[in-house]
């Protein structure tokens, strides 16, 4: 038997919480070969859907992890969301960008959470270096400066101590890691009570429901309708003053609220849960050797379905930086860019989601009519279509090139590459990591052959449209001119792309590209 204070296991990383963010973090760390301990106080996956939306950036990470095909059966395209005003009139649409899709996948998707979470957990558990302990709770921890020493309690009540070089808290809204670290949540002032209802609708009545997702911006009772995969439909229904959330969750009251759409015999009530939609973000996301991610670091209203996406952006940002620090390639100061980048991104996106939410939640009939008129005026009197992709911001500060540098902080596209008649996505051909891509129409590949020496593991590839006749085997040919169009729009001949697919910077000539690489090398060290 170990005494409580005797360290019973040493790991590179301790991940607290095994929801989607924790599972992806553990899987990414496992793929890189780090000894990782994952603990979660619950013993199984929550069997009802909570998150429902995914986007192409997250699916790209799933593809990089090798789990995209296992997840695909539980995913469907997100239909356009039609917004209806106070009098039931269409006032705008939120859709996805058109084909050819910029990252090679459907840009917006809906998914069924329990089986997707099972895929992510199985992936994490497939690595010998990853240890998973369910029914195990973090009691407390200390950061010695050299390592994190944590006390864990298992389901039998036994307490033991483990140590790790770093700890990531993916332990949800009531995060023990955040609270024990003294990281504070800042309230971005949004607080509305809603009822979220999931129904498995009987096939024969699906036809009487709306054929796309919808926001009913009705001041009497604002409501969102989301088409999930197959026969899963979700309603998010605003609760009114004086309504008791616990009472409203009861099936008889839920069916009353659903009466405009469905009767009880039309489907199976899968879940009804009252929530307060919050807008919260942590002031710092890392102290010393402890970082937080996912709901532990932020919560935002669900109006464009970015909650889980944000948590997975967190871990994809954090893990590649942690990888460099664990290998001794960068000092731990690199992790400061995690708070800077993700904190700013979450604040920017939450501001946009709040604005949409405040529009949807307007309860004053006159103000709602004025809102409808204003939104229609923005479209010149017609319902305007905006895309979910333009709502999600770039990285605005952090480990990116100086302000004014073309394309800095943007998510880099992923064209389809033609290889000996076969079609593959760019990441499948080139891999991830630091990459430089050269516009082969304007720059000879030979001019750039030495660029790769700047940063360990940097890949340099030249890309041309499929119509260009090039015999050089190292030059990639793209199918739909996605990248050619991108280079043209940014007046760039080359670009430096980070391991998480964000652009460090693009350049108008090869000399500027060299200067950016020199600057980057210094900043990474």
All structural domains of the chain with their residue ranges? 7-76+107-185+280-349, 416-524
Beta strand pairing call for 148-153 and 137-143: antiparallel
Rounded Cα distance, 28 and 129, in Å: 11
pLDDT value of residue 465: 95
How far, in Å, are 166, 199, 321, 521 from residue 37 at the CA level? 11, 36, 19, 32
Contact 170, 159 (CB under 8 A): no
pLDDT value of residue 470: 82
User: Using one digit for the tens of pLDDT, what is the confidence trace for 425-451?
Assistant: 999 999 999 999 999 999 987 788 788
- Which structure tokens are listed for 471? 């015999």
| The model scores a pTM over 0.85 | yes
Rounded Cα distance, 346 and 147, in Å: 29
3-state secondary structure of 161: strand
User: Using one digit for the tens of pLDDT, what is the confidence trace for 10-68?
Assistant: 999 999 999 999 999 999 999 999 999 999 999 999 999 999 999 999 999 999 999 99
- All residues at 6 or more sequence positions from 351 whose CB lies less than 8 Å from its CB, including other chains: 188
Query: What are the b/e assignments for 480-511, b being 16+ CB within 10 Å?
Result: bbbbbbbbeebebbbbbbbbbbbbbbbbeebe
Q: Which residues, in sequence order, are bridge partners of residue 280?
A: 187, 299
User: Using one digit for the tens of pLDDT, what is the confidence trace for 196-216?
Assistant: 999 999 999 999 999 999 999
pLDDT of 472 > 70? The answer is yes
3-state secondary structure of 367: helix
How far, in Å, are 143, 332, 349 from residue 282 at the CA level? 19, 20, 14
Contact 56, 348 (CB under 8 A): no
Q: Which run of H or of E encompasses 127?
A: none
- CA nearest 262: which of 218, 194, 199? 199
pLDDT value of residue 2: 55
- Which structure tokens are listed for 390? 């333009």
Helices 20-31 and 56-65 sit at what angle, rounded to 10 degrees?
A: 40
Mean pLDDT, residues 407-429: 96
Contact 517, 455 (CB under 8 A): yes
In which band, very low, low, confident or very high, does the pLDDT at 3 lie, cut at 50, 70 and 90?
Answer: low
Rounded Cα distance, 338 and 330, in Å: 14
Rounded Cα distance, 324 and 11, in Å: 16
Query: Which segment of 179-183, 304-308, 348-352 scores lowest on mean pLDDT?
Result: 304-308
Angle at 306 between CA 23 and CA 524, to 5 degrees: 65
What is the Rg, in whole angstroms, of the alpha carbon atoms belonging to the chain? 24
pLDDT of 420 > 90? The answer is no
- All residues at 6 or more sequence positions from 473 whose CB lies less than 8 Å from its CB, including other chains: none
Rounded Cα distance, 203 and 231, in Å: 7
pLDDT value of residue 421: 85
Continuous H helices in 361-435: 365-378, 388-391, 426-430
Q: Which residues, in sequence order, are bridge partners of residue 363?
A: none
User: Using one digit for the tens of pLDDT, what is the confidence trace for 87-112?
Assistant: 999 999 999 898 999 999 999 999 99
Mean pLDDT, residues 212-237: 96
Q: Do domains 7-76+107-185+280-349 and 416-524 have the same CATH topology?
A: no
Among 258-262, 304-308, 418-422, the range of highest mean pLDDT? 258-262
Mean pLDDT, residues 362-369: 95
Contact 441, 120 (CB under 8 A): no
pLDDT value of residue 455: 83
- CA nearest 82: which of 268, 292, 232, 227? 227
pLDDT value of residue 445: 74
Rounded Cα distance, 36 and 14, in Å: 6
The CATH code of domain 416-524 reads 3.40.30.120
pLDDT value of residue 436: 95
pLDDT value of residue 151: 98
Continuous H helices in 137-206: 176-181
Task: Find out if CATH 3.40.640.10 is the number for domain 7-76+107-185+280-349.
Answer: no
- CA nearest 285: which of 320, 351, 336, 350? 336
User: Using one digit for the tens of pLDDT, what is the confidence trace for 314-365?
Assistant: 999 999 999 999 999 999 999 999 999 999 999 999 988 888 888 888 999 9
Rounded Cα distance, 32 and 24, in Å: 12
pLDDT of 525 > 90? The answer is no
Please give the full DSSP string across 266-322, using - where no structure is assigned.
GEEEEEEEEEEEEEEEES-SEETTEEE-GGGTEE---TTS-HHHHHHHHHHHHHHHH
Looking at per-residue confidence, does 192 or 348 come out higher?
348
- Which structure tokens are listed for 16? 């607290």
């Amino acid at each position: 038997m170990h005494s409580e204070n005797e360290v019973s296991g040493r790991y590179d990383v301790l991940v607290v919480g095994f929801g989607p963010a924790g599972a992806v973090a553990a899987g990414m760390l496992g793929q890189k070969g780090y000894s990782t301990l994952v603990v979660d106080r619950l013993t199984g996956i929550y069997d009802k859907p909570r998150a429902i939306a995914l986007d192409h950036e997250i699916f790209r990470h799933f593809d990089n992890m090798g789990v995209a095909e296992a997840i695909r059966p539980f995913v469907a395209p997100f239909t356009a969301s039609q917004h209806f005003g106070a009098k039931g009139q269409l006032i705008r649409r939120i859709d996805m960008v058109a084909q050819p899709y910029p990252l090679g996948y459907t840009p917006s998707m809906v998914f069924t959470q329990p089986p997707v979470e099972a895929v992510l957990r199985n992936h994490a558990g497939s690595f010998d270096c990853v240890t998973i302990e369910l029914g195990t709770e973090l009691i407390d921890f200390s950061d010695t400066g050299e390592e994190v020493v944590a006390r864990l309690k298992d389901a039998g009540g036994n307490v033991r101590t483990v140590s790790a070089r770093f700890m990531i808290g993916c332990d949800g809204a009531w995060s023990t890691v955040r609270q024990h670290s003294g990281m504070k949540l800042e309230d971005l002032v949004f607080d509305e009570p809603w009822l979220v209802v999931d129904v498995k609708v009987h096939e024969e009545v699906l036809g009487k429901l709306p054929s796309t997702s919808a926001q009913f911006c009705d001041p009497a009772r604002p409501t969102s309708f989301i088409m999930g995969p197959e026969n899963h439909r979700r309603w998010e229904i605003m609760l009114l003053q004086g309504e008791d959330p616990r009472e409203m969750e009861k099936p008889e009251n839920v069916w009353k609220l659903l009466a405009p759409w469905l009767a009880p015999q039309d489907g199976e009530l899968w879940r009804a849960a009252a929530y307060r939609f919050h807008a919260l973000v942590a002031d710092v996301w890392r102290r010393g050797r402890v970082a937080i991610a996912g709901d532990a670091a932020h919560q935002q209203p669900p109006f464009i379905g970015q909650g889980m996406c944000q948590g997975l952006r967190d871990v994809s940002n954090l893990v590649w930086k942690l990888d460099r620090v664990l290998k001794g390639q960068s000092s731990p100061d690199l992790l400061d860019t995690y708070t800077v980048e993700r904190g700013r991104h979450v604040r920017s996106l939450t501001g946009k989601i709040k604005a949409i939410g405040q529009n949807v939640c307007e309860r004053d009939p006159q103000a709602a009519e004025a809102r409808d008129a204003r939104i229609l005026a923005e479209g010149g009197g017609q319902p305007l279509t905006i895309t979910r992709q333009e709502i999600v911001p770039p990285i605005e500060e952090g480990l990116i090139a100086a302000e004014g540098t073309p394309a800095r902080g943007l998510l880099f596209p992923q064209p389809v590459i033609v290889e000996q008649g076969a079609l593959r996505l760019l990441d499948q051909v080139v891999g991830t990591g630091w990459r430089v891509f050269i516009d082969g129409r304007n720059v000879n590949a030979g001019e750039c052959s030495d660029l790769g020496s700047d940063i360990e593991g940097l890949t340099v590839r030249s890309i041309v449209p499929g119509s260009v006749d090039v015999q050089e085997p190292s030059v990639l040919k793209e199918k739909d001119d996605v990248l050619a169009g991108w280079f043209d729009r940014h007046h760039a001949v080359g670009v430096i792309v980070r391991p998480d697919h964000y652009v460090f910077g693009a350049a108008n000539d090869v000399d500027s590209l060299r200067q950016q690489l020199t600057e980057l090398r210094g900043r990474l060290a």
